[in-house]
Amino acid sequence: MIATEQPNRSLGNKTQIRRVEAVPAQMVIQTVALMAEQTSYL
């Protein structure tokens, strides 16, 4: 049972890490889009 539980936990950790990395990427895209809009108005 322990051997089957460890892979599941590792997969869960990998998915959580991917989600954490995906959130900042969206924030950067949004900030870049806002900067592009502000520069276009200028």
What predicted TM-score, i.e. pTM, was given to this entire model?
0.39
Over residues 13-24, the pLDDT tens digits come to 666 666 666 677
Q: For position 7, what pLDDT does the model report?
A: 56
The number of helices, as runs of H, and strands, as runs of E, in the chain is: 1, 0
The Cα 21–Cα 7 span in angstroms is 21
Q: For position 4, what pLDDT does the model report?
A: 55
Over residues 1-42, the pLDDT tens digits come to 455 555 556 666 666 666 666 677 888 899 999 998 888 765
